[in-house]
Amino acid sequence: MGAFFKEKTMLEIKDLKVSINEKEILKGLNLDIKPGEVHALMGINGAGKSTLVKTLSAHYDCEVIGGSITYKKKDLLEMDVAQRANEGIFMSFQNPVEVPGVNNSYFLKTAVNEKRVYQGKEEVDAMQFLKHIKEQTAKHGIDRKLLQRDLNDGFSGGEKKRNELIQLLLLNPDLIMLDEIDSGLDVDAIKTVANVINAMLDGKKSILMITHYDRLLELIKPDFVHILSEGKIVKTGDYNLALELDEKGFEGIGIKDESK
Amino acid sequence: MSKNKQIHDVINSDYKLGFETLVESDTFPKGLNEDVIKAISAKKEEPSWLLDFRLKAYKRWQKMDEPKWANLDYPKIDYQDIAYFSAPKKALDSLDEVDPEILKTYEKLGIPLEEQKLLAGVAVDAVFDSVSVKTTYQEELEKLGIIFCSVSEAANKHPEILKKYLASVVPVGDNYFACLNSAVFTDGSFVYIPPNTHCPMELSTYFRINALDTGQFERTIIIADEGSYVSYNEGCSAPSRDERQLHAAVVELVALKDAQIKYSTIQNWYPGDETGKGGILNFVTKRGLCKGDNSKISWTQVETGSSLTWKYPSCVLKGDNSVGEFYSVAISSKAQQADTGTKMIHLGANTKSTIISKGISAMHGVNAYRGLVRVGKNAHNARNISECDSLLIGNTCNAHTYPYHEVKNMSAQIEHEATTSKISDEQLFYIQQRGINPENAVSMIVNGFCKEVLKELPMEFAAEAKELLNISLEGSVG
């Protein structure tokens, strides 16, 4: 491997230790993600999957107590939430937050323009933005009526996830983190999600996804499957590991589930 | 008299040197007595009836007590320790003498340099400019028979109208502060719109108040004659540099049959610092009388400044089918306290009122909505809808709602809704995760919360209000 791959690493997590409310959740986690790779994170509840994704987004609950995270050769821990987002880190929320009073379309346009300004590009005006939205949603068959409403306000579970997809498409991030984007979705909706993600994969973008179901993994084939247990990655394999897990369960592949 | 002429000359010329001296020498000594009131009246060359009006008010005020019912905490005001005729701000010779923090605020508001000087109280010829700007308007308005001048000017040029309407909506003894204002008021606008006239432009005090550098005790009177319409904007968008200071204004509106008055305010007096030091004590009485049938008065206010706000713009709905509206956004951040709301007094039949109040509290701010809806016994089919929402930012602020209802006619329909919400950490995190910085995230939520009120403001005013909301809440999220 050596120097060639090292140079191309997008995300490098070393011996990461994170606590939430003074309880240590991640206990020395290591993970490398290179451009274009799809990584799936699996594990029993409470293993620390969401904590990892939240830590990468600088969530206020997560206190990093050890280790390092390098992203695009920069120290990620030095950046705040918005900066990380503008550097191309996107986290799809398990439960997208409702923000009454804030128009969805206005919100998204602001976000798109913040990123453009961050990158030293000119802001898009309302007309350009609408055109862009129409193109992107039409291309993937996503209903854009959601944009006229307030941000996630009164959305159904499915609508919230669809809204996350629209944001994902327009913000066009480099590291896409999906925290159970498939939860609560029917088969057709999961297919839409997979189509969007697959269409976005251009060999440069990377994905870190948390899922309990192999349904999503069938549609978005991971290059790596990691099993997380007690705050560490204990097993890494390819797609076959997910299949094995589906067949034998966590205990069957030697992972203790202390919650049972 | 000679002093008066000197001030007048300075204002009307670009003579910069010595302005400070002139202002200082023209400040009355502290204290209030009959001689001070006589001197104010003399300076303004007022007719004797107006002096009598002032003196009567003063006698009455001496027998009154300061109200204590508001949810406000402030040290006792020593009324003998205040100068009653004075430019409230020190005149400066250049922008270099202005607090850099204030300049930063101006930059954020996008106010041009010349205007910055004006707002900061620097003696520049822009004062002259603004006077001439106003004169241009005045000519155009005069053609339509519209009167738009200062109260002092009206006392001499239009005494019959002023005499008829002065204190006709807010009686001299209405309350302690209104009574004090009646005795010592120094300036204010006078507007008269003749019958069936639609005032073709937004009337605004923005220039004049800043130009004359007054504003402690204004008195504003607006009369919309039958079938007329006027939209009036009051902008106190100059952050004042003053020490803790009293501001007691009175505004009276009269709408005759089929007339409409829309009154918008952006109040941004100096709020004081985080410990509650400095800032304006703002005790304002604003009331509109829907005197004729089918008349309408609409108050819209954005209250971002002042250390302390005591203000209840009200409507007396006397004419049948008359309509009163109150739209308010009040922010209390730092150590600000706001006790504000409205009174809707339904006297005529089929009268309607709408109250939408949005209170935002941050840091150590205390915000209270206090509102009265009174339905008189002859007010058949009166209707009121009230919506009072509070938004809390952080854990150290307060919000209170005090609605009062007095209904003496059984056909009345009254609805009251109140909500309290808090900007959650998770909302802020979500917005930031999409690349929006924390301050913009807060401003987005706050603007969303206030949008029902902001949309009532005239367009340029609304843009200014949004900026102000952002600036006022800056630093409130850690």
Mutation target to probe the B interface, by most B beta carbons within 10 A, among A102, A163, A174 is A102
pLDDT at B36 over 50: yes
Residue B346 lies in a domain: yes
> Which member of B435, B438, B445 has the closest CB to residue A101?
B445
Instruction: Classify residue B410 by burial, with Cβ atoms within 10 Å: 0-12, 13-18, 19+.
Output: exposed
Going along B137-279, which residue ranges are E strands? 147-150, 189-193, 203-204, 219-224, 229-236, 245-247, 250-255, 260-267
Residue B288 lies in a domain: yes
Residues in chain B within 8 Å Cβ distance of A90: 433
Query: What one-character DSSP code corresponds to residue A98?
Result: P
**CB contact (8 A) between residue A111 and residue B435:** yes
- Distance, in Å, from the CA atom of B443 to the CA atom of B439, rounded to the nearest integer, reads 6
- Percent of chain B, pLDDT > 70? 75
Residue B399 lies in a domain: yes
Residue A257 lies in a domain: no
- Percent of chain B, pLDDT > 90? 37
Residue A260 lies in a domain: no
Classified as helix, coil or strand, A230 is: coil
For residue B386, the cross-strand partners are B355, B416
pLDDT of B21: 27
Domain extent at residue A222? 2-252
- Distance, in Å, from the CA atom of B246 to the CA atom of B217, rounded to the nearest integer, reads 9
Tell me if A50 sits within 8 A of A255, measured CB to CB: no
Quote the number of domains for chain A. Answer: 1
The total of other beta-carbon atoms located within 10 Å of residue B114's CB is 13
**CB contact (8 A) between residue A96 and residue B430:** yes
- Distance, in Å, from the CA atom of B354 to the CA atom of B273, rounded to the nearest integer, reads 34
Residues in chain A within 8 Å Cβ distance of B447: 101-102
- Distance, in Å, from the CA atom of A164 to the CA atom of A13, rounded to the nearest integer, reads 26
pLDDT tens string B197-220: 999 877 776 433 332 334 478 889
pLDDT of B128: 28
Query: What one-character DSSP code corresponds to residue A148?
Result: G
B435 touches chain A (CB under 8 A): yes
Tell me if B129 sits within 8 A of B142, measured CB to CB: no
Whose CA is closest to B197, among B173, B161, B168, B227? Answer: B227
Taking residues A134-146, what's their average pLDDT? Answer: 89
For residue A131, the cross-strand partners are none
A224 touches chain B (CB under 8 A): no
How many residues are given for chain B?
A: 478
With cut-offs at 50, 70 and 90, classify the pLDDT of residue A171: very high
Residues in chain B within 8 Å Cβ distance of A114: 435-437, 440
Indicate if the alpha-carbon torsion angle A210, A213, A216, A218 is positive or negative.
positive
A81 touches chain B (CB under 8 A): yes
pLDDT tens string B132-153: 334 456 677 889 999 988 888 8
Residue A258 lies in a domain: no
Tell me if B313 sits within 8 A of B286, measured CB to CB: yes
Residue A116 lies in a domain: yes
**Interface predicted TM-score (ipTM) of this complex, two decimals:** 0.95
A189 touches chain B (CB under 8 A): no
**CB contact (8 A) between residue B431 and residue A99:** yes
How far away is chain A from the Cα of B108, in angstroms, using its nearest Cα?
Answer: 18
pLDDT of A98: 94
Whose CA is closest to B346, among B327, B370, B322, B369? Answer: B322
With cut-offs at 50, 70 and 90, classify the pLDDT of residue B11: very low
Residue A205 lies in a domain: yes
How far away is chain B from the Cα of A110, in angstroms, using its nearest Cα?
Answer: 7
pLDDT of A102: 92
Count Cα neighbours of B172 within 13 Å in the Cβ-side half-sphere.
16
How far away is chain B from the Cα of A99, in angstroms, using its nearest Cα?
Answer: 7
- Distance, in Å, from the CA atom of B373 to the CA atom of B351, rounded to the nearest integer, reads 12
Domain extent at residue B125? 119-473
Q: What does pLDDT average to over chain B?
A: 78
- Distance, in Å, from the CA atom of A19 to the CA atom of A17, rounded to the nearest integer, reads 7
With cut-offs at 50, 70 and 90, classify the pLDDT of residue B82: confident
Taking residues B250-278, what's their average pLDDT? Answer: 84
Taking residues B290-312, what's their average pLDDT? Answer: 89
Residues in chain B within 8 Å Cβ distance of A177: none
Residue B55 lies in a domain: no
Residue B93 lies in a domain: no
pLDDT tens string B91-111: 445 555 555 555 555 555 444
Mutation target to probe the B interface, by most B beta carbons within 10 A, among A53, A55, A81 is A81
Whose CA is closest to A57, among A88, A15, A16, A27? Answer: A88
Residue B270 lies in a domain: yes
CATH code where residue A114 lies: 3.40.50.300
A105 touches chain B (CB under 8 A): no
**CB within 8 Å of chain A, chain B residues 373-432:** 424-427, 429-432
Classified as helix, coil or strand, B407 is: strand
Residue A259 lies in a domain: no
The letter for the amino acid at A18 is V
pLDDT tens string A207-259: 999 987 778 898 999 999 999 999 999 999 999 998 898 888 888 888 776 65
Instruction: Classify residue B39 by burial, with Cβ atoms within 10 Å: 0-12, 13-18, 19+.
Output: middle
Residue B27: phi and psi, rounded to 5, are -75, 130
Please state whether beta strands A224-229 and A232-237 pair in parallel, antiparallel, or not at all (unpaired).
antiparallel
Residues 6+ apart with CB under 8 A from A144: A133, A134, A137, A166
Highest averaged pLDDT of the listed ranges A14-28, A214-228, B69-83: A14-28
Residue A39 lies in a domain: yes
How far away is chain B from the Cα of A57, in angstroms, using its nearest Cα?
Answer: 7
pLDDT of B352: 97
Residue B387: phi and psi, rounded to 5, are -135, 115
Q: Identify which has the larger pLDDT, B113 or B447.
A: B447
Quote the number of domains for chain B. Answer: 1
B440 touches chain A (CB under 8 A): yes
Mutation target to probe the B interface, by most B beta carbons within 10 A, among A93, A97, A150 is A97
